[in-house]
Structure 1
């Protein structure tokens, strides 16, 4: 879609910016509806230098949460859906999201429903998002659905941040440790190697080992760097296959400390999603199908698939949960009680609340345990190299003192 650069005035003063539209007239119309009186407008020709480059998702979860909360407020205040989208499109800061919302506004003015308009932008709005909006339109409770979606994405973002922060620390320390060791072996140890050769004599076993590692690091750097790159590419390729995902997710769940953290995060994710969908009056089979897509773990995705298949033949979904090692007994029992009492959405929400708190506790515990372990590991690696250099140095000093 063409982009137009404009200068205009609002109640607060002079403004500049860009807007996406099919024509200059449409761009001016959109700006006017957003409270901007256009002074000057010019189409920006897309080139390699002006084209936006986006890394990661086109719209961040934080942007989506803010949009949903403001959208819910406007709709509940009696503002029409079209006007609400128009107002929010004018004040959204992200260029990609702004363009998408302007396109949604255009489709709404052409007579499309809100869910259909969102459906044309699958990279921004997920299947879960569209299904809940559709359910909200059908039930007439769109403002409640928008608020529920905001809570859903807010919790999802917080959960992801906790897991990422817990995993980022050991990865960062690991990368720094490897970089320090490579630097010492490639740049520091060779300086002392020539000194040891000048003095002659037999070196200690530890020193000979470190010198051999130093020579290997310098001489065959292309081999070990190539192997590392090949391992990364192989893992990425394996993760793209169904069997590869299953095996890697199974292995991660079995890793001490990390496995429990990932298990709790996955449970919190799918129970929160399932609860939100059921509260929005989405049929349970469809809700389970969408929860499968958001759980983020192939093992638990298979469990949810089995639960859906049991429901299709008239069996309770708790049966599959009870019979699988990756689902704690508490979750299966709460689901069973929810099915029996007809309050499955409420029970799932309680499970989600509980496991979100458990994730927070688990991340704090993980950081408290892993920090001293990584520090000790780094000290051992660096200390071994330093000790391998110091031992023969002390022997050389002793020999010089005897002379």
Structure 2
């Protein structure tokens, strides 16, 4: 059985509400454990409670559980140090809500074309491997001449059948290559370079990374974390190879006394809007607020961009499906009429 992911958004939401009512941390966690629907989740909260009773901090207790990522525990730790735990948990709740919305949106963009194409392939295989051979036998029996379109589909069916092993091998090689590129993304960034060159997809991918960078830094700094530790944590959790190198260079520059905006003056990786919002935050001493606004701005651009992409894909795939189904229908129906005339 697969283990269900722990709902961090629900955890933050409920804990924030309970703490805001004035309940102590241990009392809040006790109430929260009773609200959990899963026995595993109840046990998890109870184990955290036991750890707190031993004198450990919340961050230390959470760090022992794999359900809580380093980002989560680091922000909680900073919040405990600065006495802003309630606000930090609220910030985390908003972050995980945005992540959940974004994940659902991206899944929808990916799921729709995959579903359409899979349906097309299954339909084509069914018609070409089951329906078509029946007509082929009937026409052979009555010595009829199959229509051109039907012959094309039959020929295509025979080619697929003859080279099925080779086609599957090429397809499997392609899938394994993509998996390798994905797994080695942090080391070489080859897949990322390919994605960046794809017109619409590359721009959306950049929006995704910028959203994460701005949102992460805003959460870290609002929790009371200093800039340098925040950048080091950001470097560890960001998935992009190019931006990881960029953040590493930023860490080196900031550690030598440079400002964040000086390091972010890279037009290839940091758009002007992001840079000037950051510059405004530095000048007005509102860096956390401006980072939060940057995160919201690029989140909205990513959301709108993915919706627009889906709007483009829908008519294209519907047209493709309609044309394909029409051709298949013609390839099946036409010989039926001819067979009727022969009989």
With the shorter chain as reference, the TM-score category is: 0.7 to 0.9
Distance 2:140 2:264 in 1: 66
2:146–2:335: 8 Å Cα contact kept in structure 1?
Answer: yes
CA distance in structure 2 between the partners assigned to 1:330 and 1:350 by the alignment: 11
Aligned to 1:97: 41
Partner of 1:313: 256
SS in 1 for 2:199: coil
Q: Structure with the greater relative contact order (CA < 8 A, sep ≥ 6): 1 or 2? A: 2
Q: 1:210 Cα shift?
A: 1.9
- TM-superposed CA distance for 1:259, in Å, is 2.7
Matches within 5 A, 1:142-291: 142-198=85-141, 200=143, 206-242=149-185, 246-291=189-234
How do 1:29-178 and structure 2 match up within 5 A? Answer: 53-55=1-3, 58-60=5-7, 64-121=8-65, 123-178=66-121
Is the Cα–Cα contact under 8 Å of residues 185 and 240 in structure 2 kept in the other structure?
no
TM-score (norm 1): 0.76
Aligned residues: 343
User: CA separation in 2, counterparts of 1:378 and 1:293?
Assistant: 44
Q: Deviations over 1:192-234 (max 9, x none)?
A: 2223434557766654432122123345544433443343233
1:17-32 equivalent positions in 2, closer than 5 A? none
Q: Which residue of 2 aligns with 1:33?
A: none
* Cα pair distance change 1:228/1:346, threshold 3 Å: same
Output the TM-score relative to the length of structure 2.
0.88
Q: Please state which structure has a larger fraction of its residues in strand.
A: 1
**Structure 1 CA distance for aligned equivalents of residues 94 and 186 of structure 2:** 34
Q: Give the unaligned 5+ runs of structure 1.
A: 1-52
1:7 alignment counterpart: none
Q: Structure 2: 5+ residue runs without aligned partners?
A: none
More helix by share: 2
Contact 2:217/2:231 (<8 A) preserved = yes
Q: 1:133 to 1:196 in 2, by over 3 A?
A: same
1:385 maps onto 2:328 in alignment = yes
SS of alignment partner, residue 58 of structure 1: coil
Q: Distance in 1 between matches of 2:75 and 2:230?
A: 10
Cα RMSD (Å): 2.7
Deviates more, 1:86-95 or 1:276-285: 86-95
